[in-house]
Amino acid sequence: MEADWIRGLIGGLMIGAAAALYLLVNGRIMGASGILGGFLTRSPAGSEWRERGIFLLGLIAAPALLVWAGFGHGSRPVASTLGLVVAGLLVGFGTRMANGCTSGHGVCGISRLAWRGIAATLTYLVFGVLGVVLARALG
Amino acid sequence: MGRLLVALASGALFGAGLLVSGMTDPAKVRGWLDVFGAWDPTLAFVLGGAILPMALAWRIAARMPRSLSGAPLPGPASRQIDARLLGGSALFGLGWAIAGYCPGPALASIGFGGAAIWIFTAAMLLGIGLHTLLNRRS
């Protein structure tokens, strides 16, 4: 339990440092859903699209390499196939509709005391707690 | 070239941080949201740890005319809180709780998460596509 919160804090500092780097050097807000959405819809095309693609490459490759090298472990799913499909649709649609997720609204929004980020985070936390109840029903 | 290298480094550091923090473990996320059950407070440390350096970065950015690469910095944050923001966040929160994955950790798990993460990610991409389609029509 104690090691858990220390790892959480260290990992959190790494996430925040990644967002700080992306902001101060590239002038961009590090939001996972926005970067993925912009990459998929190719908007805008050109250098910004390539930048998003290469960010996603780092995001996918680094943890995969770490797990492969023996640091960290694979994740065990908590939802059934139906649950995964329903959840994926809700996460994909919801984050695009709200224009952000935990990294964009949560990390980058709250840290600049943005009202939108705070409101979004409180909303998805409340519905997340409700969702756990629903998830038990879905299995 | 420099911007692309920074994007790669930032994405890699983000992904490594998600793995180290435990965000790529759906059971851990479920535990955080299970306030009425066996609540696991780890994610509060993840969020707190992530906000600290970023709060400092916003203060530094406020004193800079442009970003270090020369690209403009983001403008002031929008204050508009509307039905799209709250409704979208509510849908996202429900999905986050059901599978224990949000977009960052889902992508970070593609390389090692097995079949479950492929199913989730495929559905997530479909959800993004559906939103894009509906938005284009209206």
pLDDT band, residue A139 (cuts 50/70/90): low
Residue where one domain finishes, among candidates B37, B57, B77: B77
Residue A36, pLDDT score: 97
Q: How many domains does chain A have?
A: 1
pLDDT band, residue A27 (cuts 50/70/90): very high
Q: How many CB atoms lie within 10 A of CB A4?
A: 16
Residues B17 and B73 in one domain: yes
Contacts with B22 from chain A: Cβ below 8 Å: 4, 7-8, 11
pLDDT tens for each residue of B14-69: 999 999 999 999 999 999 999 988 899 999 999 999 999 999 999 999 999 999 99
Residue A135, pLDDT score: 76
Question: What residues make up the domain containing B105?
Answer: 79-137
Q: Cβ–Cβ of A90/B12 closer than 8 Å?
A: no
Q: Cβ–Cβ of B88/A86 closer than 8 Å?
A: no
Q: Cβ–Cβ of B10/A26 closer than 8 Å?
A: yes
pLDDT tens for each residue of B118-128: 999 999 999 99
Residue A41 near residue B132 (C-beta atoms within 8 A): yes
Residue A79 near residue A138 (C-beta atoms within 8 A): yes
Q: Is the pTM of this model over 0.90?
A: yes
Residues B65 and B99 in one domain: no
Q: Kindly state whether A66 is in contact with chain B, defined as any CB-CB distance less than 8 angstroms.
A: yes
Residues B133 and B97 in one domain: yes
Position A103 in a domain: yes
CA distance A94 to B107: 16
Position A35 in a domain: no
Position A109 in a domain: yes
Position A2 in a domain: no
Q: Is the ipTM of this complex over 0.90?
A: yes
Residues B19 and B72 in one domain: yes
Residue A21 near residue B9 (C-beta atoms within 8 A): yes
CA distance B113 to A43: 29
Q: How many domains does chain B have?
A: 2
Q: Which positions ≥6 away from A75 have C-beta within 8 Å?
A: B24, B25, B26, B27, B109, B112, B113, B117
Residue A1, pLDDT score: 55
Position A38 in a domain: no
Residues B66 and B84 in one domain: no
Residues B106 and B56 in one domain: no
Question: What residues make up the domain containing A117?
Answer: 77-138
Q: Kindly state whether A34 is in contact with chain B, defined as any CB-CB distance less than 8 angstroms.
A: no
Residue of chain B whose Cα is closest to the Cα of A8: B21
Q: Cβ–Cβ of B73/A23 closer than 8 Å?
A: yes
Position A123 in a domain: yes
pLDDT tens for each residue of A119-137: 999 999 999 999 998 877 7
pLDDT above 80 (res A104): yes
Q: Kindly state whether B118 is in contact with chain A, defined as any CB-CB distance less than 8 angstroms.
A: no
Residues B97 and B73 in one domain: no
